Amino acid sequence: MADAVAKAELIISGTIVNFDPSPHGGTFTTVAVDEALKGSAASSITFFQGSRVSPTDDGLGVTVSEAPNEGLLVPGDRAILLLQRGSDGNYHIEHVTGWFQIVDGLVKANYFNDWRASVVGKTEAEFVDMIKAALQAPR
């Protein structure tokens, strides 16, 4: 976990308030920031997630295409995100280890996250304490 925390430029907790599918794939997603655990954050941050929503061919519905290792976060979802700024200037979720959804107060990590077993089922507060400890650990 220490490596993922060290690589992240910004670590935030908050609630998704908006998302805007990109015509080129992916989704620009805005999160209302409750706390910046690493870095400096405004009251809201927009980041790019690879998952997306797109219309069906008949235009009567939508399809959800989730990117590998990151479920689609939608308005109302609560999350802790480890973000890096991409070459396009936008924040992106740190590959594999940067996506944590909070469901019913408990942490949910993607399946391929190396330290998934150590965080899944922790409370949000316990996970935040783990991140803060990793930030304090000598490197």
The model's pLDDT over 67-123, given as tens digits with 9 standing for 90+, comes to 767 788 999 999 999 999 999 999 999 888 899 999 999 999 988 888 889 999 999
Average pLDDT rounded to a whole number, residues 43-62 = 86
Can you tell me the distance from the alpha carbon of 25 to that of 53, in angstroms, rounded to the nearest whole number?
Answer: 9
CA dihedral sign, ordered 42, 139, 82, 133:
negative
Residue 82: which of 67, 93, 68, 71 has the closest Cα?
93
pLDDT at residue 104 in the model:
96
Can you tell me the distance from the alpha carbon of 87 to that of 101, in angstroms, rounded to the nearest whole number?
Answer: 25
| Element (DSSP H or E) covering residue 27 | strand 27-38
Q: What is the mean pLDDT of the chain?
A: 90
Hey, where are the domains in the chain? Answer: 2-136
pLDDT at residue 139 in the model:
65
64 or 35, which is more confident? 35
31 or 139, which is more confident? 31
pLDDT above 70 as % of the chain: 98
Residue 4: which of 139, 95, 75, 80 has the closest Cα?
95
Backbone angles phi, psi at 84, to 5 degrees: -130, 150
pLDDT above 90 as % of the chain: 60
Average pLDDT rounded to a whole number, residues 46-55 = 85
Q: Which CATH number fits domain 2-136: 3.10.129.10, 3.40.1360.10, 3.20.20.30, 2.40.50.120?
A: 2.40.50.120
pLDDT at residue 114 in the model:
85
